[in-house]
């Protein structure tokens, strides 16, 4: 989308733990490489233009203490593309593209410059693009000193990927909505409606073991809906033994999962009442890792960047994209996010990552 205007000329330093905004130009090559002749002169001018565009973007960041506090943790949906068809999904496959690595790298540097400490890669299914995801994890961890987390359905994670890129990941969360294959199939988790061929759970236990091998914090996300709100997951959650267990109430968002012409999903039959959600929470209160989040808590307490690095405003009941941070910088884009920072802190958004 920004391939002509935002091709990054920035190099990749070996470390960046001590870098601040005042040293941001260290990310850039010191001088354009000259090869002589007219072609080299043209390349030099193009290089200088690109460098100036990126410097202008960092100036637009307008970093201050308030901005740094707001952007500590950011969720980046690298693509909407997914191999599952979860019926309650609220970030559906309306597009299938993703940014080129260079644009995504620039976005991560802008976030770091603005004060971001943790980046969470999500989707769609982020492992649909394993090489891109791996490179982003490496850049975020090695070059920008960010804490790195991933949210995945778990189906496309491989041991080979974990062995190559696991060292750059701090937290890996997987989705587990039921410990019954038939329920997972009914929800849309797995290969299809045939519960006899649904291997979702066996994969999740493999991923847990790989996380332990790579010293990655293992996390579980569960969406409570009409198909699972009466289930008792206590025994199996204890077997998985996640560091954190996020329990969400199924959420309806306009233009995503409310069953109208613009929607790819209809989650209305999966909605649970507040009382049913609390019943699920009460049933599992003996599990200390559980962190329940109702619709009220969840809806506006996450900073969400879409596949074009635009903050998504959910405050009106939909997902309204603002301007991309690749065009206007983080500070201005943040004003269009509808972010409830107070609720973010109240739900424990900052933890030992």
Cα separations in angstroms, 334 against 66, 306, 313: 11, 13, 10
Distance CA 327, CA 320 (A): 17
The helix/strand count (H/E) of the chain reads as 12, 10
Which residue bears the tokens 């991923």?
A: 207
Beta bridge mates, 290 = 245
The two structure tokens encoding residue 236 = 């199996």
- Is residue 300 a contact partner of residue 320, using CB atoms and an 8 Å limit? no
Catalytic residue, candidates 89, 137, 211, 225: 89
Q: Other C-beta atoms within 10 Å of 83: how many?
A: 14
Beta bridge mates, 224 = 249
Beta strand segments in 14-98, E? 73-77
Which residue bears the tokens 């260290």?
A: 26
Beta bridge mates, 76 = 121, 305
Q: Is 314 a catalytic residue?
A: no
Q: Is 82 a catalytic residue?
A: yes
Q: Which H/E stretch holds residue 307?
A: none
What distance, in Å, lies between the first and last C-alpha atoms of the chain?
32
CA neighbours closer than 13 Å in the CB half-sphere of residue 131: 2
Q: Is 137 a catalytic residue?
A: no
The two structure tokens encoding residue 124 = 């769609």
**Is the dihedral angle over the CA atoms 311, 242, 89, 340 positive or is it negative?**
negative
Helix (H, G, I), strand (E, B) or coil at 327: helix
Q: How would you list the strands of the sheet with 118-122, edge to edge? A: 290-293, 244-249, 217-224, 171-175, 147-152, 118-122, 73-77, 304-305, 310-313, 320-324
The two structure tokens encoding residue 318 = 């939909």
Catalytic residue numbers read 82, 86, 89
């Amino acid at each position: 989308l920004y391939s002509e205007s935002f091709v990054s000329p920035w190099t990749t330093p070996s470390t960046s733990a001590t870098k601040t905004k005042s040293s941001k130009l260290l990310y850039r090559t010191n001088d354009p490489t000259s090869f002589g002749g007219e072609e080299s002169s043209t390349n030099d001018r193009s290089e200088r233009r690109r460098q100036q565009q990126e410097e202008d973007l960092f100036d637009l960041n307008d970093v201050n203490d308030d901005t740094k506090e707001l952007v500590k943790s950011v969720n980046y949906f690298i693509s909407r593309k997914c191999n599952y068809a979860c019926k309650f999904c609220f970030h559906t496959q309306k597009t299938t593209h993703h940014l080129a690595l260079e644009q995504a790298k620039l976005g991560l540097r802008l976030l770091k410059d603005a004060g971001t400490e943790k980046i969470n890669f999500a989707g769609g299914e982020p492992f649909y693009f394993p090489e891109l995801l791996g490179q982003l994890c490496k850049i975020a961890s090695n070059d920008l000193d960010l804490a790195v987390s991933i949210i995945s359905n778990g189906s496309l994670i491989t041991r080979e990927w974990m062995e190559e890129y696991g060292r750059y990941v701090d937290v890996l969360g997987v989705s587990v909505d039921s410990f019954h294959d038939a329920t997972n199939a009914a929800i849309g988790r797995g290969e299809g409606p045939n519960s006899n061929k649904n291997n979702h759970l066996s994969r999740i236990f493999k991923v847990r073991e790989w996380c332990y091998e790579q010293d990655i914090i293992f996390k579980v996300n569960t969406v409570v809906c009409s198909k699972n709100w009466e289930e008792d997951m206590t025994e199996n959650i204890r077997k998985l033994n996640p560091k954190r267990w996020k329990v969400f109430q199924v959420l309806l968002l306009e233009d995503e999962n409310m069953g109208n012409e613009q929607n790819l999903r209809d989650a209305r039959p999966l909605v649970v009442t507040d009382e049913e959600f609390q019943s699920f929470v009460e049933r599992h209160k003996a599990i200390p890792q559980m962190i329940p989040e109702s619709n009220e808590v969840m809806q506006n307490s996450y900073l969400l960047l879409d596949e074009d690095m635009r903050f998504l405003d959910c405050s009106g009941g939909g997902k309204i994209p603002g301007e991309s941070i690749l065009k206007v910088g983080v500070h201005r884009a943040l004003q269009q996010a509808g972010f409830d920072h107070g609720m973010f802190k109240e739900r424990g958004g900052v933890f030992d990552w």
